[in-house]
Structure 1
Amino acid sequence: MDELIDILNADGEPLGTTAIKSEAHKKGLFHATVHIWFYTEDGKILLQKRALTKETHPSLWDVSVAGHIGAGESIVNSAIREIQEEIGLPVKGTELQKIGVFKSIQKHSEQLFDCEFHHTFLVKLKVCLENLTKQQSEVDDLKLISINQFENELYNKELAKQYVPHSKKYYTKILKEIKQLL
């Protein structure tokens, strides 16, 4: 979906302008996204397999839920909306634990230059995997994986190819923060 988003400067501050998402990606304009990582009490992480039709990283495993923040939309409301849309789970803003904002610059092609600030949250998953509803246009599959297996696979050159190539710093921070909550 080509939604209207707020444009940011290279420090993540709003410029007071908007653009449609495809234009921002084409021109490499900075904008904000939300990343929500779900974890369970028994040390598992919820991963989503990106739809085969996705423009970037199709069929790779990724963060539990992610999406663009709409123009004028609050970060928390965006996270709540994306969770509801992608996995059909209603959550309250108080359940979201923000762990940071990560700057990400990825040039996928001449027509797709992602310059994003990922507002990143952790949320305890309190329902069974079977109770989640995948958004067909975004998510091909969902799975729970132990934090230890996830970490081992991320740092294995061959196994890491099944995951979206976020920075090592990003993944290290996510794993550290989840481990502290267990």
Structure 2
Amino acid sequence: MDERVDILDEQGNPTGASCLKSEAHRKGLLHPTIHVWLYTKDGRILLQQRGKHKDTHPLLWDVSVAGHVSSGEDIEWAAVREVQEEVGLTISNTDLKPIGKVKAIHKIAEDFIDAEFHHIFLCELKVPLSKLTKQESEVEALKLVPLLQFAEETWGMARVEKYVPHGTEYYKTVIKELKNRI
């Protein structure tokens, strides 16, 4: 969906401008996104395999839920909405634990620069995997993996090629925060 997104300055502050997501990507304009990492108390993390028709990183494993923040939309409500849309889970904004904001710029093609501020949240997953419903157009598969395995594959660089390249520091931050909660 080509929704309107708010444009941010280099520090992540709103500029007052907005445009279609496709234009923001074409011009490399910074805009807000959300990342929600769902985890279980027994030390597992929910991973999403991106859909095979995605413009960026098809079929790679990624954050449990990610999405764009629509123009004028509250960051936390965007996270709640995206969790419902992508995995069929109803949560409230009080379930979200913010852990940071990361600027990420990736040149996908000459006319596609993904320039985003990821607002990162943790959220405890309190239902079994079988109760989740993946959004067919966005998500190829869902799986729960032990946090230790995830840490070895991303932070330890053992199998980094199967994951969206968010960078070691990004994954390190998420893993440390998850360890504090499990």
TM-score bin (small chain): over 0.9
Q: Distance in 2 between matches of 1:159 and 1:168?
A: 12
SS in 1 for 2:116: strand
- Code of the aligned partner of 1:78: A
Q: Distance in 1 between matches of 2:137 and 2:5?
A: 20
Equivalent residue, structure 1, for 2:146: 146
Segments of structure 2 that go 5 or more residues without pairing to the other structure are none
Equivalent residue, structure 2, for 1:56: 56
- Code of the aligned partner of 1:15: T
- Code of the aligned partner of 2:98: K
- Code of the aligned partner of 1:173: T
Q: CA deviation at 1:147?
A: 0.5
Q: Distance in 2 between matches of 1:17 and 1:120?
A: 23
The share of aligned pairs that are identical, in percent, is: 52
- Code of the aligned partner of 1:119: H
Q: Distance in 2 between matches of 1:70 and 1:95?
A: 21
SS in 1 for 2:25: helix
- Code of the aligned partner of 2:54: K
Deviations 1:50-102 (A, max 9, x none): 00000000000000000000000000110000000000000011100000001
Normalised by the size of structure 1, how large is the TM-score? 0.98
Q: CA deviation at 1:158?
A: 5.8
For residues 1-182 of structure 1, what are the structure 2 equivalents within 5 Å?
1-155=1-155, 157=157, 159-182=159-182
Normalised by the size of structure 2, how large is the TM-score? 0.98
Q: Distance in 1 between matches of 2:103 and 2:176?
A: 18
- Code of the aligned partner of 1:91: I
After TM superposition, the runs of 4+ consecutive aligned structure 1 residues lying more than 6 A away are: none
Contact 2:34–2:79 (Cα < 8 Å) also in 1 = yes
Contact 2:152–2:158 (Cα < 8 Å) also in 1 = no
Aligned length: 182
Q: Distance in 1 between matches of 2:180 and 2:65?
A: 21
Segments of structure 1 that go 5 or more residues without pairing to the other structure are none
